[in-house]
Amino acid sequence: MNKIIVGVASLAIFVAGPAFARGGSHRSSGHSSTVHVAGHTTKSGKYVPSHTRTAPDHSKYNNWSTKGNVNPYTGKAGTKDPSHR
């Protein structure tokens, strides 16, 4: 019985986790909004697969690529210094 409860709880966390990791769409919550970008081919012919990114908002500090932030989809830590952009 305990294995079933643990399994159901794990499944619930697995399914709900990404929704919480994306952050809300409310800017007042302190979380940046996200934007889905469809896969496309650039003018130079390079294919860019579909992905999710932070929405543009004039802030250098809340982007996933900025030091101190972590991309919730890839788990990668940001490396860019916001003072050099």
- Label residue 24 by pLDDT band (50, 70, 90): very low
- Measured between alpha carbons, how far is 76 from 61 in angstroms, rounded to an integer? 16
Sequential DSSP letters for 5-16: HHHHHHHHHHHH
pLDDT for the residue 5: 60
- Measured between alpha carbons, how far is 32 from 57 in angstroms, rounded to an integer? 9
**pLDDT tens track for 29-84:** 445 588 999 999 999 999 999 999 888 888 888 888 899 999 998 999 999 998 87
Please state the domain count of the chain: 1
What is the domain range of residue 70? 2-84
